[in-house]
Amino acid sequence: MKPQIIPRLLITLFTALVSIAAVAQDPVKEPASEPLTEPASEPAPDNLRENAVRLFLDCNNCDLSYTRQEIPWVNYVRQVQDAQVYVLVTRQNSGNGGDLYTYTFHGMEEFKGMDDTLTYTTNPQNTSVEIREKRTNILKAGLIRFASRTPLIDEIEISHTSSLEQEEVVDRWKNWVFEIQTSPQYTAEEYYKRLELENSLRITKVTPDIKLEVEIDQRFTKQRFIEDDLDTTYIRSYVGMDNLFVKSLGEHWSAGLIWEINSSSSENYDLTTRVMPALEYDLFPYSEATHRQLRFLYSIGYQYCNYTDTTIFNKITENLFGQQIRIAYEVQKKWGSVYLSVWGLNYFHDFSKNMVATDLYARIRVFKGLSLFLNIEAAHINDQLSLRKGELSEAERLLRLREQATGYQLETGIGLTYTFGSIYNNVVNPRFGD
């Protein structure tokens, strides 16, 4: 073999090896039959996300960061006008001492007419983590019907627990729920000491036909002021029991009994008790209470008063008869929510002894990006029959140890919020968060 042929052979062999390696690394140059056994390439996540359902979640008590992490197959938008699906989440107290969460799904644009309502009831034994997980599962269940009409359905897996058994639930408590709460607080400084005790016992039984509530509250505050030549202690105490019994009379009517007992040092009561039968009518069915209510409540009854000190009307005991009426309206929609209550009471022995009060809370989306918050509590007061006779001391006035005469009470507040920018809020970044 000639010497110059060997280098040529080596060059030819090296070139062949490089070509083979290039073919192995380039899937495009594989034989045409190979892709039939290989998985198809997946679309880019950004392309998929563009086709995801645009969701506006109207929820004041949701963990939105957790929700976005657990349900990444929708686009979360900041304005309801940009949404394809609007979800309203409302909460009401349930008979077992927990909460009833109602999820209302409202389809928009191409999903118009696809509406649904799902509920979830917690119990006092549930932890916050358990509640958060279950609520997220309810949201998933409601959104899946919308996501199933998008390409992202191929990225969603539906599963169940390893064992599903049908069991008969036996309630040995017969719908009775007991809740005990205590909250002692103590503050100490060199010249000031404060002891505050708050205790409560709540007993309830709620069924579709009846509602029974018994609540006992006790509050005690002891303040001690220490000066060089003076050591003064002030005490304010309250003990009360509120009882409510309601019987359902259908989808619109209810009848009940309200019984209150309390003792209050600041309000000059050693003992007062009031018994008032009541009747309520809801213009809308009670089954729609999570979305809208217009309730009319009328009650009439008897009140016995045993005062601590003589009142400004020279009474130490008193028997009173009176009546009360309340009108309450509440609506929760995608444009916001409004709660308005107007109520008044008077005593039969003197119709000038009365009170009229109103409460208003509104959360309204004015237009895209702008929301208005408003709350008003106002009362015209002319029913302070228990006021103590005599002047108030400076300490009683400043520490509010005794009820003071007043013709009205007013609390109000207003707020505006405006947001603009990207309509999406899918990203979760927990760094430096609360």
**8-23 mean pLDDT:** 50
- Hey, where are the domains in the chain? 5-32, 45-153, 249-418
Closest CA to 243 of 264, 262, 263, 258: 258
pTM for the full model?
0.62
User: Quick one: pLDDT at residue 21?
Assistant: 45
Q: Which residues pair with 293 in a beta bridge?
A: 330
Determine the 3-state secondary structure of 399 from DSSP: coil
Q: Considering just the CA atoms, what is the radius of gyration of the chain in Å?
A: 34
Closest CA to 297 of 314, 308, 287, 283: 283
Kindly state the tokens that stand for 424: 């999406």
User: Quick one: pLDDT at residue 169?
Assistant: 52
Burial 230-255 (b: 16+ CB within 10 A, else e): eeeeeebebbbbebbbbeeeeeeebe
DSSP letter (8 states) at residue 10? H
Judge contact between 360 and 395, C-beta under 8 A: no
Cβ neighbours around 332 below 10 Å, total: 20
What's the pLDDT tens digit per position in 122-149? Answer: 877 777 777 888 888 888 888 888 888 8
What's the pLDDT tens digit per position in 360-392? Answer: 988 887 776 677 889 999 999 988 888 888 777
- Quick one: 61 exposed, middle or buried, by C-beta within 10 A (0-12, 13-18, 19+)? exposed
**395-409 mean pLDDT:** 76
- Quick one: 122 exposed, middle or buried, by C-beta within 10 A (0-12, 13-18, 19+)? buried
Q: Which residues pair with 75 in a beta bridge?
A: 54
Judge contact between 433 and 426, C-beta under 8 A: no
Kindly state the tokens that stand for 82: 């940009």
Distance of alpha carbon 398 from alpha carbon 392, whole angstroms? 10
User: Quick one: pLDDT at residue 161?
Assistant: 61
Percentage of residues in the chain with pLDDT exceeding 90? 35
| Residue 185, pLDDT above cutoff 70 | yes
Distance of alpha carbon 224 from alpha carbon 237, whole angstroms? 15
User: Quick one: pLDDT at residue 279?
Assistant: 95
pLDDT range class, residue 259, cuts 50, 70, 90: very high
What CATH number labels 45-153?
Answer: 3.40.50.10070
**What does 256-317 look like in DSSP terms, one character per residue?**
EEEEEEEEETTTTEEEEEEEEEEEEEESS-GGGTTTEEEEEEEEEEEEEEEESS-BTTS-SE
User: Quick one: pLDDT at residue 244?
Assistant: 93
What's the pLDDT tens digit per position in 48-77? Answer: 567 788 888 888 778 777 788 788 888 888
Distance of alpha carbon 277 from alpha carbon 268, whole angstroms? 26
Residue count of the chain: 434
Give the end-to-end CA distance of the chain in Å, rounded to a whole number: 82
Judge contact between 198 and 218, C-beta under 8 A: yes
Determine the 3-state secondary structure of 146 from DSSP: helix
Distance of alpha carbon 50 from alpha carbon 112, whole angstroms? 20
User: Quick one: pLDDT at residue 26?
Assistant: 44
Strand order in the sheet with 99-107: 74-76, 53-58, 85-93, 99-107, 116-121
What's the pLDDT tens digit per position in 282-296? Answer: 998 887 776 788 999
